[in-house]
Amino acid sequence: MSELVPTLREQFPALHQQVNGQPLIYLDNAATTQKPLAVLQAMEHFYRNDNANVHRASHALSARATAAFEAARSTVARFINAGDPSEVIWTRGTTESINLVAASWGDSLQAGDEILVSTLEHHANIVPWQLAAERCGAIVRPIPLNASGDIDLAAYQALLGPRTRLVAVGHVSNALGTVNPVAELTRLAKAAGALVLIDGAQAAAHLPIDVQLIGCDFYAFSGHKMYGPTGIGVLWGRRELLEKMPPWQGGGEMIERVSFAGTTFNQLPFKFEAGTPHMAGAIGLAAAIDFLQAQDRQALLAHEQALTRYLAEQLQALPGVNLVGNPAQRLGAVSFLLADIHPQDAGTLLDMQGVAVRVGHHCAMPLMESLGLKGTIRASLACYSSQQDVDALITAIGKLEDFF
Ligand SMILES: Cc1ncc(COP(=O)(O)O)c(C=O)c1O
């Protein structure tokens, strides 16, 4: 399907192993991706050579660590076309990025204010808003989907109004693979006077991201879903909003001056980065971005789109397989059900054949409820996924009947 894949696969050591006596077929990339050598080496290099705390000490290692850490921030800023690196805040991941906005910006919510979230959302883009809304009597309103699993644009427009303070939507759904028209959703929200937060957890590995082109106010993503390490993520926010928002966590680094008479806070982005950050994580994430940017991104995207289509078509052609959702644009993840086999059993039996997929509600219980399902089986792709991976999944599903 794509001649890029063999060279890419060589760079991911974890792909080359046997699981349960079978070659590993890793189709759980929406949960987390494997890591290329460049990321492993960058993190090892940091710990072996430059490890020191950033921003605080006046010695050579600390200066090197600080330079690498801040260079990583600039790499992220370029990757998402942020106006300035100071708009890039390090977090533990998408979940923490959204919680930061919900806790800090959420302080300004008032009773009766409305936050719109789509029915597709991951719990990380629902529960923080529910918690923020509960504190002040605001309301979280779900945006319904149409039958194919796309956001119902007419219903969305009808929900937008003078009480809407924020729209929080995913760029790509982790459960159905739906690619949302985020620029259009943002334009409509802006016309209604609302702010927009985009959950980019499932987009960052696949799509070019340009926060200025989208026009959103906040964009969140995780390192580990885009070939980087766990425990590091990004919140991008518009400078003028971040300036006005109160700090979230208190501690070292986020202060300018502390006294028992009162404390003043550091400038952006440090105001939101209390405590020692995940330095090696930030450097690893920058290495993942460099790895991605060194590829022909257009060719990679074309490969992933074609493979997503192939995966959906091959599954659909199997007797007893039902795809869940048929979104206008699907990327990376395909959810399905088997007529006679519970998803949990299917997951275990596929694993016995070396095939790693995810089963369950995919942290999207409201979506499952709206579909009348308890869970699905999800196969999800990365840049290194191949037609052979998909074929191996299809063969393994074909053998499931033999187990009963
Ligand atoms: C769409 C989406 N949003 C948010 C998250 C949460 O990401 P993390 O666990 O890295 O914070 C995930 C993880 O699966 C996701 O798929």
Domains and CATH numbers, the chain: 4-27+296-403 (3.90.1150.10), 40-293 (3.40.640.10)
For the purposes of burial, counting CB atoms within 10 Å of the CB of 58, is it exposed (0-12), middle (13-18) or buried (19 or more)? exposed
CA dihedral (10, 332, 295, 227) in degrees, to 10, reads -60
* Ligand 1 pocket check for 222: Cβ under 6 Å: yes
The Cα 115–Cα 160 span in angstroms is 9
Residue 191: per-residue pLDDT: 98
* Ligand 1 pocket check for 128: Cβ under 6 Å: no
**Distance from Cα 48 to the centre of ligand 1, integer Å:** 30
| Catalytic-role residue among 136, 216, 363, 383 | 363
**Distance from Cα 263 to the centre of ligand 1, integer Å:** 34
Shortest-distance atom of ligand 1 to CA 173: 1
Tell me the sheet residues that pair with 115: 140, 166
DSSP 120-168: T--GGGTHHHHHHHHHHT-EEEEEPB-TTSSB-HHHHHHH-STTEEEEE
Tell me the sheet residues that pair with 23: 18
DSSP H or E segment with residue 389: helix 387-400
* Ligand 1 pocket check for 180: Cβ under 6 Å: no
Residue 2: per-residue pLDDT: 72
pLDDT digits (tens, 9 = 90+) for 54-74: 987 789 999 999 999 999 999
Q: Whose Cα sits closest to atom 7 in ligand 1? A: 94
The Cα 202–Cα 204 span in angstroms is 6
- Bond preceding residue 269 cis, omega within 30 of 0: yes
* Ligand 1 pocket check for 364: Cβ under 6 Å: no
* Ligand 1 pocket check for 170: Cβ under 6 Å: yes
The Cα 38–Cα 284 span in angstroms is 8
The Cα 285–Cα 90 span in angstroms is 11
**Distance from Cα 322 to the centre of ligand 1, integer Å:** 25
Residue 48 is given by DSSP the state I
The Cα 344–Cα 359 span in angstroms is 6
Residue at token pair 């006294």 = 259
* Ligand 1 pocket check for 122: Cβ under 6 Å: yes
Contact (CB, 8 A) for 128 and 166: no
Probe ligand 1: pick from 179, 363, 365, 378, max atoms within 8 Å of CB?
Answer: 363
Residue 262: per-residue pLDDT: 94
CA dihedral (45, 46, 52, 58) in degrees, to 10, reads 90
The whole-chain average pLDDT of the chain stands at 97
The Cα 25–Cα 19 span in angstroms is 9
Q: Whose Cα sits closest to atom 16 in ligand 1? A: 174
Main-chain dihedrals φ then ψ at residue 365, nearest 5 degrees: -60, -40
Probe ligand 1: pick from 173, 225, 227, 331, max atoms within 8 Å of CB?
Answer: 225
The amino acid occupying position 158 is A
* Ligand 1 pocket check for 91: Cβ under 6 Å: no
Shortest-distance atom of ligand 1 to CA 230: 10
Whether 363 sits among the annotated catalytic residues: the reply is yes
Q: Which residues of the chain have pLDDT under 50?
A: none
The Cα 342–Cα 270 span in angstroms is 48
Identify the three-state secondary structure at position 118.
strand
**Distance from Cα 61 to the centre of ligand 1, integer Å:** 34
Residue 402: per-residue pLDDT: 74
Q: Quick one: which of 168, 166, 163, 108 has its CA closest to 136? A: 108
Residue 3: per-residue pLDDT: 83
Shortest-distance atom of ligand 1 to CA 224: 10
The Cα 256–Cα 264 span in angstroms is 5
**Distance from Cα 240 to the centre of ligand 1, integer Å:** 26
Which two structure tokens, joined as six digits, stand for 238?
């518009």
**Distance from Cα 199 to the centre of ligand 1, integer Å:** 8
* Ligand 1 pocket check for 178: Cβ under 6 Å: no
pLDDT digits (tens, 9 = 90+) for 145-166: 999 999 999 999 999 999 999 9
SS3 content of the chain, % helix, strand, coil (to 5): 45, 20, 35
Q: Quick one: which of 128, 162, 164 has its CA closest to 143? A: 164
User: Residue 130: how many CA atoms within 13 Å on its side-chain side?
Assistant: 7
* Ligand 1 pocket check for 93: Cβ under 6 Å: yes
Q: How many of the other CB atoms lie within 10 Å of CB of 392?
A: 20
Q: Whose Cα sits closest to atom 14 in ligand 1? A: 31
Contact (CB, 8 A) for 270 and 323: no
**Distance from Cα 101 to the centre of ligand 1, integer Å:** 15
* Ligand 1 pocket check for 119: Cβ under 6 Å: no
Probe ligand 1: pick from 32, 176, 202, 230, max atoms within 8 Å of CB?
Answer: 202
The Cα 224–Cα 13 span in angstroms is 16
Contact (CB, 8 A) for 168 and 199: yes
